[in-house]
Amino acid sequence: MQMMVGQPATLTDILLNFLLGFLLGYKIVALFILDSSATVDPQAFIFSSLGSWPAGIAMGLLFAGLKWYEKNKQKLSKPEKRTVRIWPEDRVGEITIIALVFGLAGSKLFDIFENWSDFLTRPSDYIFSAKGLTFFTEDGFVPL
């Protein structure tokens, strides 16, 4: 595969990594920071508007900084086009993200099509909720 090697991080690279880090910090880190009691319902928290802005910004800056550092470490004085062999293990991260996005979208769409008449009367209940997703709890897999 032909690709440019030695280029610095682009604004798009940095912004995408900041966005991913922000989402992880705002929701996932905040899940552990905001309410440490055992009665927290993770699904309700993830689908709510609650989160931690400082944790989101900190994680976003961390992810963006790591991307900049990684690209800056590989930067050449003059970027060049090289033939690079891509191995399957080099694509694991991309494949995982694609599977996550399309798995969640597919489960939501399947639930919508399975309950079409109810969806037409209350679309926001299906779009902005955890309906159609299955979560693992101490009782096993629980469909919502």
pLDDT tier at 130 (50, 70, 90 boundaries)?
confident
Q: Which amino acid is at 108?
A: K
- What is the reported pLDDT for 143? 66
For residues 115 and 138, which has the higher predicted lDDT (pLDDT)? Answer: 115
Euclidean distance between the first and the last CA atom of the chain, given in angstroms as a whole number: 44
pLDDT digits (tens, 9 = 90+) for 44-61: 777 778 889 999 999 999
Q: Which amino acid is present at 66?
A: L
Residue predicted with more confidence, 100 or 142: 100
Q: Cβ(62)–Cβ(41) under 8 Å?
A: no
Query: What digits encode the pLDDT tens for the residues 12-48?
Result: 999 999 999 999 999 988 888 876 655 667 777 777 7
Q: How confident is the model at residue 136 (pLDDT cuts 50, 70, 90)?
A: low
The C-alpha R_g of the chain, in whole angstroms, comes to 20
- CA–CA dist 69, 13 (Å, integer): 12
Q: DSSP assignment, residue 50?
A: -
Residues 21, 22, 27, 31: what is their CA dihedral angle, to the nearest 10 degrees?
A: 70
Q: Which of 89, 19, 86, 91 is nearest to 57 (CA)?
A: 19
Residues 96, 105, 20, 83: is their CA dihedral positive or negative?
A: positive
Buried b (16+ CB within 10 A) or exposed e, 60-80: bebbbeebeeebeeeeeeeee
More confident site: 75 or 62: 62
Question: How far is residue 71 CA from its own chain's centroid?
Answer: 21
